[in-house]
Structure 1
Amino acid sequence: MRSKIEEYEAVEKAAEKFVRSVAEGDSSYAKELFIDEAVLFGYLDGELEHGSIEQFYNNVDNVSGGENFNARIDILLLEETLAVVRVLEEGWGDRIDFTDVLLLLKMNGEWKCVAKAYNQNSNTIEE
Structure 2
Amino acid sequence: MRASIGEYRAVEEAAMKFVKSVAEGDSRYAKELFVDDAVLFGYLDGKPEHGSIEQFYKNVDTVDAGKDFRARIDIVDIEETLAVVKVLEEKWGGRIDFTDYLLLMKIDGKWKCVAKAYNQNSNTIQNGK
What amino acid sits opposite 1:67 in the alignment? K
Question: Do the aligned residues in 2 keep the contact of 1:39 with 1:50 (CA within 8 Å)?
Answer: yes
Q: 5+ unaligned residues in a row in structure 1: which ranges? A: none
Q: Which amino acid aligns with 1:116?
A: K
Aligned to 2:76: 76
Give 3-state SS (helix, strand or coil) of 1:60's partner.
helix
The runs of at least 4 aligned residues of structure 1 exceeding 4 Å deviation read none
TM-score of the superposed pair, with normalisation by structure 1: 0.99
Identity %: 75
After superposition, the CA RMSD in angstroms is 0.3
- What are the within-5 Å matches in structure 2 for residues 11-90 of structure 1? 11-90=11-90
Does the 8 A contact of 1:83 with 1:105 survive in 2?
yes
3-state secondary structure, aligned to 2:12: helix
**Any idea what the Cα deviations from partners look like across 1:76-123, whole Å, max 9, x if unmatched?**
010100000000000000000000000000000000000000000000
Structure 2 unaligned regions, length at least 5: none
- The equivalent of 1:106 in structure 2 is 106
Matched residues in 1 for 2:7 and 2:36: separation? Answer: 23
Aligned length: 127
Q: What's the secondary structure of 1:20's corresponding residue?
A: helix
| Matches of 2:118 and 2:110, distance apart in 1 | 23
